Structure 1
């Protein structure tokens, strides 16, 4: 599945200045993008959504990554599968709806019909010797961890030891396995996927670009200013009996055979308890929380799946590479499964902060791509507050080689 890196890619990696942003071709060369999809995206575990989107047999959602499309479906037997959205006859896209409920999937081209388990049920007018059993839909690997659905296109996927370790100390105490999707939004970004991920990984840009976020999140400040308030956050969590981990398992898969994962805790400003316009609560408390601890937890899995959790709601950030200069950011808001819209939470209030933040991110990431496309672009050094972006780039360079 993996192609060998080209001579150009080898030269670019050798010429990369430590501690600096990537060179221009990493962000706008189509051949490098194709190599990334084969080596950096498809072999990794990718968050495809939340289990609550498939409550009943026959429920399905379609998920797209670059040129690939996957049908996530709960079969009539109750099992969830990741079916490749490619008819086994002549390759037509099979399912054209983003979500729904079905007892079967019928190809719009020649009407081959597949069950929700992917088995070929009918192939009209085929000869008697045709083997239907050999022409079911292809499946890729799927795992559900604390309510989150992960898929991998790899023939032999990476191990999930690090991911399970991080999830047990993050998604689990926040009750994500018993959550539901309150809202989802997609932001198309005219930029390379790595620019979107790098932007998410650092908060050097937060003060100038995200005044709404910076108002209540100390993560927008230099780390040296946050030592005391973050220590108080940990004390509050302990007093509530909520055990939330901080781990860095951003290991090289080539060395360890495990998917990367990490978790970081950060405090909110004095008096703020959640990610909202005024810092106040937005939904019922989740998981192990009996009160607010005044903090937020960030955690990441693999190259493009990122999450953040407040005591009363959570967010899934999916960065979806489409082409070398097109990316989609899908944001999914989670609340407790019994929370009622309009009664227990107001949707506009719940989604306000990360809606305005994502809109601003879209703008600055696109401006970043426009500047990088200039003939005069020269990679500059990362600032101390861009440690997460630098770590991501270092990992990328070692992995892409």
Structure 2
């Protein structure tokens, strides 16, 4: 059973439009970007940059869009909207994952209109052209004898799975470095067996901000101590700090972190589970970071006391105290793999000032709701954290829309924000190059 939970409150909104009416020269703004500083306002507010981001970032790189448990059976599908693109993800009859452009080869109608569901074949509601799950055209009425169905299948989108995560690339020439990344990340994901889980809950939250603000906010914990009381019950607030920069008030938390890390490293070593960080956040197309890290409190899961949210542990784990395997990919996704559940996050741009943040919780496929887990407890920490982050992003969108906005410098513990923005600028420079 999948529990879909609405957000408890809406993110901050503004009473004025936040897109600019003045012409914007993206190439000039990219060229004058000041390293170590936030981007200028038009990067977050202009239609020119939004369209450029779709073309240069979301249509050219590997984008996380869903998990295999979201389409568990043949015929199960979801549709994904990325700017002007609509993509169907569907489980085919052989159990594989297919990604197809949601555009009928007759006159261009959307084939599937629902966000998710299950079908036998893909039937366009306009003129009933019918396609198989792999995109082959099966039926097109009233065509001449010379009509060749083999020439009019749905156009395919590149798709890859990695430890149960589904990535797509809209480009006909996807970045080839995904193979290298997958080879190194797969051993971290494998013990959790995500493909053997089920979706326990999913929440869609539309944040009133540009997708880059959503991701920048996610890539630092400078704001966590004051901004996320539920999260910091288990998430050490020293994240991102170098040892010499940890404020005195956080030293007790750092001492707990060191003890918890020592315990986690012993547990991982005994079980042959990798835990060391791999961090390649810029200088490559498929940029990423992965590391298994300790949790505070009981050290088991993202709950207010740190204890497991599901009695039924994933795979064949023999202990819930295995910390959190944290993974993120540029440009739009982050993940937490725990012993008792997995949480996935994807940020999909809707408009210059609106971003869909989809959070999905996975538990063991044999876990029973109300017996092994309570959906409210399972989702509590990240529902609250997402809503808080939505408010921060909304306030920032309003601020960067002001003529008074001037980019400020990043703090040292915001180095991952700087890396994200630097990666983004690298990709725009490649796209804009003659």
Scaled by the length of structure 2, what TM-score is found?
0.85
| CA contact 1:147–1:176 (8 Å) conserved in 2 | yes
Shift of 1:146: 0.9
Q: Which residue of 2 aligns with 1:361?
A: 389
Cα 1:235–1:187 change in 2 (3 A) is same
Aligned: 1:50 with 2:67? yes
Aligned mates of 1:11, 1:99 — CA distance in 2: 41
3-state SS in 1 of match to 2:38 = coil
Aligned mates of 2:161, 2:104 — CA distance in 1: 26
Cα 1:166–1:359 change in 2 (3 A) is farther
Q: 1:389 aligns with which of 410, 417, 423?
A: 417
Shift of 1:138: 0.5
For 1:84-123, what aligned pairs fall within 5 Å after superposition? 84-123=101-140
Q: Which moved more, 1:19-28 or 1:125-134?
A: 125-134
| CA contact 1:285–1:313 (8 Å) conserved in 2 | yes
| CA contact 2:275–2:291 (8 Å) conserved in 1 | no
| CA contact 1:169–1:244 (8 Å) conserved in 2 | no
Q: 1:243 aligns with which of 261, 269, 274?
A: 274
Shift of 1:126: 2.2
Q: Which residue of 2 aligns with 1:273?
A: 300
Aligned mates of 1:309, 1:79 — CA distance in 2: 23
Unaligned residue ranges in structure 1 (runs of 5+): 1-5
For 1:184-223, what aligned pairs fall within 5 Å after superposition? 184-220=202-238, 222-223=241-242
Aligned mates of 1:189, 1:148 — CA distance in 2: 23
For 1:300-311, what aligned pairs fall within 5 Å after superposition? 300-311=328-339
Aligned: 1:134 with 2:151? yes
Q: 1:75 aligns with which of 66, 88, 92?
A: 92
Q: Which moved more, 1:269-278 or 1:138-147?
A: 269-278
Q: Which residue of 1 aligns with 2:175?
A: 158
Scaled by the length of structure 1, what TM-score is found?
0.92
Listed one character per residue, the Cα deviations across residues 110-161 of structure 1 (whole Å, up to 9, x for unaligned) are 2222222211122222222222211111011111111111111111111213
Q: Which moved more, 1:142-151 or 1:6-15?
A: 6-15
| CA contact 1:173–1:244 (8 Å) conserved in 2 | no
Listed one character per residue, the Cα deviations across residues 64-114 of structure 1 (whole Å, up to 9, x for unaligned) are 222211111122343321011111111111101222221112212222222
Q: Which residue of 2 aligns with 1:25?
A: 42
Q: Which residue of 1 aligns with 2:290?
A: 263
Aligned mates of 2:299, 2:327 — CA distance in 1: 21
3-state SS in 2 of match to 1:354 = helix
Aligned length: 392
Aligned mates of 1:361, 1:345 — CA distance in 2: 26
| CA contact 1:173–1:243 (8 Å) conserved in 2 | no
Aligned mates of 1:306, 1:220 — CA distance in 2: 19
Q: Which moved more, 1:70-79 or 1:385-394?
A: 70-79
Q: Which residue of 1 aligns with 2:163?
A: 146
Q: Which residue of 2 aligns with 1:252?
A: 283
Listed one character per residue, the Cα deviations across residues 258-311 of structure 1 (whole Å, up to 9, x for unaligned) are 522211333222433210122111112224632133522211123112111222
Shift of 1:232: 4.1
Unaligned residue ranges in structure 2 (runs of 5+): 1-22, 244-250, 430-434
